[in-house]
Amino acid sequence: AWNGGRDAAQALVVRYNQLFAERTTAWAAQTPPGSGVFVVGDIGGFVEATLGSTAITGALGIASTTSACVTGLDTGSLGALVRSAASLDCDGTCDDPSTHYFFDALHPGEHVHRLFGYYSQELIEAARANATDSPSEAEVIALVEKYKLGTPVPRPVHT
């Protein structure tokens, strides 16, 4: 059954990540010792871990992890989906995008993007300290709380 192109997109992401890991591993091996920290963030692992945790999605205020905020995109093929998303040719958006894990069929919503930024910062700091573990669920929830990621983002005032 067609699931909005998610399987095709996931296969593409997995393959891209494999190639990216191979290239960055080779690049890291050529980096002179003492030249700094080299970290590759696993976005796919991050998405799987956060989607699989009701504690994390709950802390973010996310109610929907299975449907996108933007509706009506052409998902007949991956190419059609990308063209449709790029042109924003869709039926509309949900009333509250902050309650959706995905903004559209391909992209995480704002709260998830913000969390990934802070999560990446934690990975870099851990690498500097020679730690190799990814942040735990409790540490990710602590990031959500520390940076108030479960609250609405202030918007510019238009006059």
Mean pLDDT of the chain: 81
pLDDT at 159: 59
pLDDT at 149 over 80: yes
Residue-wise pLDDT for 89-103, tens only, equals 556 778 888 999 988
Residue 85, classed as helix, strand or coil, is: helix
Buried b (16+ CB within 10 A) or exposed e, 34-49: eeeeeeeeebeebbeb
- Residues near 138 by beta carbon (within 8 Å), at least 6 away in sequence: none
Q: Between these two residues, 28 and 71, which has the higher pLDDT value?
A: 28
pLDDT at 137 over 80: yes
Residue-wise pLDDT for 36-87, tens only, equals 777 777 787 898 899 999 999 999 999 999 888 877 655 555 565 566 556 5
